Structure 1
Amino acid sequence: MNGVDLFLLGRTLMKIGEEAIPSPAGGQHLADRTVLIVAADVAAHPGSSISEITERIGFPQSAVSGSVARLRDAGAVRTATDPADRRRQLVHPAEQVSDRVAAIRASGVEAALAAALGTADPGRLAEVVAALDTLARHLGPAALTKLRRPGGTA
């Protein structure tokens, strides 16, 4: 595998992941890539400012701010004024999981994988899910932080 193969695989996996996220019953869909990436960063780094999130994920501040607003409106995160700098908002995961977030977390990937693979063979699906679980265990959101730092250490 080379860098291009890895990039294309990542893009394919993103599309399958987007397909696996259930659509809401009315309302705005939270499967926007930026929103998902911001949500993952907030979960990994609770209490971060918008600027800190922006720096870690490398997206424009306006995109991060908009994603935080969408996540807040959906009940996935809460914001609070930074007591050390009242101009900054700190972003935390919500204390209680909203129905929408619970539905997203409970959704499986098997149907989307079966469609992408062109088969519903249980053995093949189990093999692919196991491989994805291994990748997720080793290459979670923290891997991006390590990748962007000199020397690759967090």
Structure 2
Amino acid sequence: MNIARLRRLGRRLAELARASDGEDQPMPTPGEEAVFEDVLRHPGSSVGEIQSRTGFAQSHVSASVARMRERGILETGPDPADGRRTQVRVADVTMHRLFRRATTPVEEVVREAVPDPADADRAVALLKELESLLITDESHGQG
């Protein structure tokens, strides 16, 4: 396997994960994902705070927040302590989707993608092994 195939595999796994949501929304850009993850970890942040933590230009953060707000992923509102400041948070409907996704077993999705039951079982076992090897407390992909 080379890096190109690894990226292709990653995209395919992301497609399978999205298919399990039953959502028909466009895939977020890597920048939107980074902004979303920051908002998820720091609800009620301002665009400037998100910009500071992510390192993106403020215009990029603002545009990402606006696009995700239009799609119903994020919500914005005035800061109760300072009405001039806008706070960003994950929309309730998005939080429900995240919870549903986090509690959905992968077996069903894999069985739809890999019709042969023996191959599907092997794919699930391999995914579980990869998870144990690659997703650690120290890894970037905590979750």
Normalised to the residue count of structure 2, the TM-score between the two structures is 0.61
SS at match of 2:76: strand
Conservation of the 8 A alpha-carbon contact between 1:48 and 1:90 = yes
The equivalent residue for 1:127 is 126
Name the Cα RMSD after superposition. 3.9
Distance of aligned partners of 1:125 and 1:107 in 2 relative to their CA distance in 1, 3 Å threshold: closer
Equivalent in the alignment of 2:54: 57
* Cα distance in 1, alignment partners of residues 74 and 27 from structure 2: 13
In structure 1, give the amino acid aligned to 2:41.
Answer: A
- 2:62 counterpart letter in structure 1: S
Task: Name the counterpart of 1:97.
Answer: 93
What are the within-5 Å matches in structure 2 for residues 5-154 of structure 1? 11=7, 14-20=10-16, 21-22=18-19, 24-25=23-24, 29-94=26-91, 96-97=92-93, 101=97, 105=101, 108=106, 110=110, 120-132=119-131, 135-136=134-135, 138=137, 139=139
SS at 1:48's partner residue? coil
Q: Greater relative contact order (Cα 8 A, min sep 6): structure 1 or 2?
A: 1
Q: How big is the shift at 1:75?
A: 1.9
What's the % identity of the aligned pairs? 32
Indicate how the Cα distance of structure 1 residues 70 and 107 shifts in structure 2: closer, same or farther if over 3 A, else same.
farther
**Cα drift, residue 72 of structure 1:** 1.4
> 1:9 and 1:86 mapped to 2: Cα distance?
49
CA drift at 1:107: 9.1
Any stretches of 5+ residues in structure 1 without a counterpart?
Answer: 143-154
Q: Which residue in the other structure is 1:145 paired with?
A: none
Q: Please, what TM-score do these two structures have when normalized by structure 1? A: 0.58
Q: Tell me, yes or no, if the aligned pair for 2:45 and 2:87 is still in contact at 8 Å.
A: yes
Quickly say closer, same or farther: Cα 1:137–1:77, change in 2 above 3 A. Answer: farther
**8 Å contact kept, 2:110–2:120:** no
* Matched residues, number: 130
Equivalent-residue separation in structure 2 for 1:93 and 1:58 (angstroms): 20
Deviation of residue 79 (structure 1)?
Answer: 0.8
